[in-house]
């Protein structure tokens, strides 16, 4: 007779090695039915690798996996999915040319021939799965116009179509707004109460403490300490487990000594917008753009770099009216550089090395006698690897092989190397672990101190309050308030929320 275990899922001594990296080192981990088990750790600690192993994407080099006490090893992701392991990966995983219903049933469909699936039944069940996650979409509609949050919810709905009893969520809240986070949390709790076992990965520690029944910490592929209840672990202790040292968050001083205006937008409006927006940016200033996801900040940023045309109003850079044609023109002529929030889809060349990705926009800086100097490139890359703590065996690693957070850091390094006069940084720390987040804040602050002018676009109010000198609050495509930032969170958040709410009630 085998031992009776109440573990829904259990991993024993699981090891996974990639060239130059021990991503997981003899990991023991378990998950119970009706439990939310949070997994936290720095970027590159091995969290996603664990998810990929449980869900059949990767084979472990050593170790065993038990489900309901039975030893299992899935040959591929579909086998795991059909066996009731639902996974929502760090990156979105929907097929753009498929409809909502087809995306929901993609995995189950491909088991049988599509022709034998009753379409009526598929639509009916799609409706049911979406109801659980409170999505109200036409199953026949295209997914291309869905917001990030809707796509996220749709992926969760997909796991419900096979009645998953294990749900693996890899940073599910990284690209959704706070109201949507609340909904997601409600749904996750509902599923837990129905007996689903959930592994929850997040860099947002508040969320982890609020949701988790147990927390496990990974560092460099190893488990640090046991799996413990949140009440038995303070935030400080958790961070210490993550990085082996304490978090240092010294506040940045309040600054207000700006003189020169470097950018001035006067009632500008884009094609897709009905609002006009006006603002100024001064030399050395950090101008925070706060708003919920979808409040129009990215749209406005795109006009400043010539990606979307300005159809009305005027834009001045250093006092001169400008007509910016494209990103190359924005940077080459006016020194304006935009660091996209969609770093992965818009920015990185996944097959190429970290070194190449960092230098691609600044090749002129690594020339030697007119030729690209690989030595210079490597030296420069090493500098950023160190400064941003990019976890990699070396500068030649393909970016596609880096963890999500380390891919982000590579994009940030590229922007820093470009060294523009005006830099628009869109959601710089999404998916970045708390420690590195602090380091990136320091880098941004130092850039401003050196006289660079920065527009900091963020949905993370704490980040805005920590860094910005002035704050513009966005709502429904327009700037609804402007305030000086005294860097006092309670005060600012009150003011910001009042104006967002007052505005929405007024409509
Ligand atoms: N396909 C791969 N080839 C080579 N190395 C890999 C591959 N996948 C992951 N790694 C490495 O394994 C380590 C763990 O990566 P993993 O993606 O599991 O980290 P993570 O904890 O999810 O980080 P993040 O918080 O940034 O998402 C990293 O050093 C990463 O570079
Ligand atoms: Mg990851």
- Gap from CA of 389 to ligand 1 centroid (Å): 14
Average pLDDT across each block of 10 residues of the chain; the chain has 507 residues. List them in order.
70 95 96 97 95 94 95 90 88 83 73 60 82 86 82 85 88 80 89 95 94 96 95 92 79 92 96 89 97 82 93 95 93 91 73 93 87 90 92 93 89 90 92 88 93 94 95 89 92 85 49
* Ligand nearest to the Cα of 42, by number: 1
Domains recognised in the chain with CATH numbers: 7-243 (3.40.50.300), 248-335+420-507 (3.40.50.300), 345-419 (no CATH)
Residue 46 CA: nearest ligand 1 atom is 18
d(CA 227, CA 225): 7
Q: What is the pLDDT of residue 108?
A: 62
The secondary element (H helix, E strand) that includes residue 220 is none
Instruction: Enter the pTM of the model.
Output: 0.84
* Ligand nearest to the Cα of 52, by number: 1
Best probe residue, ligand 1, of 22, 44, 435 (max atoms within 8 Å of C-beta) = 44
DSSP β-bridge partners for residue 337: 423
Residue 405 CA: nearest ligand 1 atom is 26
Q: What is the pLDDT of residue 117?
A: 62
In this structure, the residues whose C-beta lies within 6 A of any atom of ligand 1 are 18, 21, 23, 41, 43-49, 90, 391, 401-406
The secondary element (H helix, E strand) that includes residue 228 is strand 222-228
d(CA 36, CA 198): 5
Q: What is the pLDDT of residue 111?
A: 53
Q: What is the pLDDT of residue 320?
A: 95
Residue 19 CA: nearest ligand 1 atom is 4
Which among 385, 357, 363 has a CA at the least distance from the CA of 376?
A: 363
Token digits of residue 170: 């890899």
427 conformational bin, left if phi > 0, alpha if psi -120 to 50, beta if neither = left
3-state secondary structure 262-331: EEEEEEEEECCCCCCEEEEEECCCEEEEECCCCCCHHHHHHHHCCCCCEEEEEEEECCEECCCCCHHHHH
Nearest CA to ligand 1 atom 25: 43
Q: What is the pLDDT of residue 150?
A: 83
Which among 66, 62, 51, 58 has a CA at the least distance from the CA of 15?
A: 62
CB 158 within 8 A of CB 129: yes
For every residue of 49-93, DSSP letters joined together read HHHHHHTTSS--SEEEEEETTEEE--SSHHHHHHTTEEEE-SS--
d(CA 154, CA 148): 10
Residue 49 CA: nearest ligand 1 atom is 18
CB 473 within 8 A of CB 291: yes
């Amino acid at each position: 007779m085998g031992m009776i275990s109440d573990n829904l899922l259990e991993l024993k001594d699981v090891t996974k090695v990639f060239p130059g990296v021990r991503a997981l080192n003899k990991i023991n981990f378990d998950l119970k039915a009706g439990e939310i088990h949070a997994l936290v750790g720095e970027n590159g600690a091995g969290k996603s690798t664990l998810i990929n192993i449980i869900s059949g994407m990767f084979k472990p080099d050593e170790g065993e996996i038990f489900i309901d006490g039975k030893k299992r090893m899935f040959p591929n992701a579909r086998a795991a999915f059909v066996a009731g392991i639902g996974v929502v990966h760090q990156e979105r995983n929907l097929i753009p040319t498929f409809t909502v219903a087809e995306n929901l049933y993609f995995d189950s469909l491909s088991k049988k021939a599509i022709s034998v699936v009753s379409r009526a039944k598929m639509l009916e069940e799609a409706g049911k799965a979406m109801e659980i996650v409170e999505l109200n979409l036409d199953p026949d509609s295209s997914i291309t116009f869905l917001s990030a949050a809707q796509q996220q919810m749709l992926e969760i709905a997909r796991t419900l179509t096979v009645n998953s009893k294990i749900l693996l969520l890899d940073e599910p809240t990284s690209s959704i707004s706070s109201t949507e986070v609340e909904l997601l949390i409600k749904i996750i709790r509902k599923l837990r109460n129905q007996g689903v076992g959930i592994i929850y990965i997040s860099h947002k520690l508040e969320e982890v403490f609020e949701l988790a029944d147990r927390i496990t910490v990974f560092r460099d592929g190893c488990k640090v300490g046991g799996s413990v209840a949140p009440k038995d672990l303070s935030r400080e202790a958790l961070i210490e487990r993550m990085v082996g040292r304490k978090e240092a968050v010294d506040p940045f001083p309040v600054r207000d000594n700006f003189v020169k205006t470097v950018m001035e937008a006067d009632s500008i409006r884009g094609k897709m917008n009905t609002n006009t927006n006006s603002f100024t940016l001064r030399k050395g200033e950090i101008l925070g753009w706060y708003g919920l996801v979808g409040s129009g900040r990215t749209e406005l940023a795109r006009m400043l770099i010539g990606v979307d045309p300005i159809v009305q109003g005027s834009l001045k850079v250093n006092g001169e009216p400008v007509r910016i044609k494209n990103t190359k023109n924005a940077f080459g002529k006016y020194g304006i550089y935009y660091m996209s929030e969609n770093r992965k889809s818009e920015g990185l060349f996944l097959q190429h090395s970290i070194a190449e990705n960092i230098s691609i926009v600044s090749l002129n800086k690594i020339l030697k006698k007119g030729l690209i100097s690989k030595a210079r490139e490597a030296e420069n890359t090493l500098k950023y690897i160190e400064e941003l703590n990019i976890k990699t065996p070396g500068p030649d690693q393909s970016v596609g092989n880096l963890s999500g957070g380390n891919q982000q850091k590579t994009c940030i390094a590229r922007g820093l190397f470009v060294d523009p006069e005006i830099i628009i940084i869109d959601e710089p720390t999404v998916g970045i672990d708390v420690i590195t987040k602090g380091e990136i804040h320091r880098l941004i602050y130092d850039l401003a101190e050196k006289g660079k002018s920065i527009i900091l676009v963020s949905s993370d109010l704490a980040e805005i309050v920590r860094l910005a000198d002035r704050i513009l609050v966005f709502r429904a495509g327009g700037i609804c308030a402007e305030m000086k930032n005294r860097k006092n969170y309670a005060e600012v958040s009150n003011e910001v929320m009042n104006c967002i709410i007052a505005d929405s009630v007024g409509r």
